[in-house]
Chains A and B, each alone.
Chain A
Amino acid sequence: MEIEIKDYQGLKVMALSGEIDMYSSPALREEMMGLIDQRMTPLLVDFRGVSYIDSSGIATFVEGLKRMMSYGGRLKLFGLLEGVKEIFNFSRLDKVFEIYGSFEDALLN
């Protein structure tokens, strides 16, 4: 998995690509918590390049969301491919996370 942090008009966008599993999720956690500890909000996560996510990846996002909620931050996920979205739906997390189809939707809502 690759992680790229982009700046967009003062916002941080974390662009992910590849597979998020037990091997790659520790690096994701470290990168994401680093941004969250700076009380970044909103934090946008670009999922367009993510082909797979397992329960450890889901757990990382749940932990990040909970930490952001403690300071009123917003975590916005966008561009989830069908297989990845299906895991969020099955986990009943599609109701908990802000999930958008595109970057523009995530930005404007």
Chain B
Amino acid sequence: MKDLAVIKVQSDPKYLSVIRTVTVKMGELYGLSKSAIEDIKVGVDEACSNVIKHAYGGDHRQSILVRYKMTQKGFEVLIEDHGVKVQPESIEGRNLDDIRPGGLGVHLIKRAFDIVQFVQRKRRGNKLRLVRFKK
């Protein structure tokens, strides 16, 4: 078996704390620094919140699959849903100097991960690939 872990949770915001806990644990297992773990915890949480908000339109009865693995490149997280297709160009965050509610999550994801990429091969739903390079 590959060196990976997979969790599947209902798309209910109450399970975001479970995802954060597992993300922290995986970061520790893979030997990431404390600050890197803090970053990836926030980044994965924001990405999963986006799935609930945008892909599922707030529907709490769906599911989110999160896979963690260590590759030669670094720490990789794949987040899958079967909701509405997200247009990658639509995930630009707001200008940080423009002070208003919303638009911050994308910046927090990009701060945590060197690669933030939607895998386009998926016919239904979305698969977001996040990679933090080994430093």
**B36 within 8 A of partner (CB):** no
In the complex, A62 Cα to B98 Cα: how many Å?
11
Whether B96 contacts A55 by the Cβ 8 Å rule is no
From known contacts A21-B16, A60-B101, infer whether A55 and B46 are also in contact, taking CB-CB under 8 Å. yes
Q: Name the residue on B nearest A25 (C-beta).
A: B13
Interfacial chain A residues near B20, Cβ < 8 Å: 19, 21, 52
Contacts of B38 in A (CB 8 A): 83, 86
Size range of the interface on B? 20 to 34
B16 in contact with A59 (CB, 8 Å): no
Contacts of B100 in A (CB 8 A): 62, 66
Q: Are A55 and B108 in contact (CB under 8 A)?
A: yes
Interface residues of A, dominant DSSP: helix
Which residues of chain A are near B105, meaning CB under 8 Å?
A: 54-55
B111–A22 touching, CB < 8 Å: no
CB distance from A96 to the nearest CB of B (A): 5
Q: Which of B88-105 contact A (CB under 8 A)?
A: 96-97, 99-102, 104-105
In the complex, B121 has a CB within 8 A of chain A: no
Report chain B residues within 8 Å CB of A87: 42, 108
Q: How far is the CA of A96 from the CA of B100 in the complex (A)?
A: 11
CB distance from B50 to the nearest CB of A (A): 9
A71 at the interface (CB under 8 A from B): no
Contact indicator B99/A54 (Cβ below 8 Å): no
Q: Is B85 among interface residues, defined by CB-CB distance under 8 A?
A: no
Judge if A107 is at the interface, Cβ distance under 8 Å. no
A93–B108 alpha-carbon span in the complex (Å): 14
Candidate in B17, B101, B111 with the most chain A CB atoms within 10 angstroms: B101
Q: Is A90 an interface residue (CB 8 A)?
A: yes
Tell me which residues across on chain A come within 8 A of B17, comparing CB atoms: 19, 21, 23
A residues 62-108 near B (Cβ < 8 Å) are 62-63, 66, 83, 86-87, 90-93, 96
Residue numbers of B with Cβ under 8 A of A are 12-14, 16-17, 20, 38, 41-42, 45-46, 49, 52-53, 96-97, 99-102, 104-105, 107-108, 111
